[in-house]
Amino acid sequence: MKNRRRYWIIGGIYAGALLGMGVAIYTRLASDSRDPQKYAREAIELHRDGRFGEAVRAYEQSLALQDDAVLRASLSRALVKLGQLERAVRELEAALRKEPAHAEIWHDLALLRWRGQNDLAGAQAAFAEAAALPTCKPEVEFDRGMLLLSIQRWDEAAACFDSALARAPATAEWRAQAEESLVVARVRGGNR
């Protein structure tokens, strides 16, 4: 009886320790698996490392827990790297439904529609949305000008380049190209 009691006590302690460990492990796993920021950080790191397929899965896990427009735009960029352009567009459109006043996401959508899908009308509409927002960066006007230049809308392209150059820092990497493109648009448009 004494021996049986000893095993029961040891077994109880062992079982209690296992149960305690199990609760601690379960609690940690449950909190980790429900933390959208954990998945977002992982996705960003994987994306940075060029592991786009894994990044997409981590973005999806984070977004399943908490929708976020900026993270959805990052998912879109990873999808572009994987050649999934249609899905990338859908993710950007979903991001804009959540945050319609996000100029950078409109800019991404414009570029993807233009360069990825050759959807010039869709790209122009997205550029116009981005340009109308107060948070619009001068790069948007530069890229919009490049699109207009490619379809020979010289005067509109020149106006975009003028706007971009007026607001761009002197160190903007695209500044020289904008200056050259402005000259081309003015000459071809007849406004020297």
CB 101 within 8 A of CB 124: no
Instruction: List the chain pLDDT tens, one digit each, 192 residues.
Output: 554 444 333 344 333 333 343 333 223 333 456 788 999 999 999 999 999 999 999 999 999 999 999 999 999 999 999 999 999 999 999 999 999 999 999 999 999 999 999 999 999 999 999 999 999 999 999 999 999 999 999 999 999 999 999 999 999 999 999 999 999 999 999 875
For the chain, the domains span 22-102, 138-192
- Is it true that domain 22-102 has CATH number 1.25.40.10? yes
CB 59 within 8 A of CB 37: no
Q: 42, 34, 85: which is closest to 64 by C-alpha? A: 34
Q: Which residues contact 147 (CB under 8 A, 6 or more apart)?
A: 110, 114, 120, 123, 124, 127
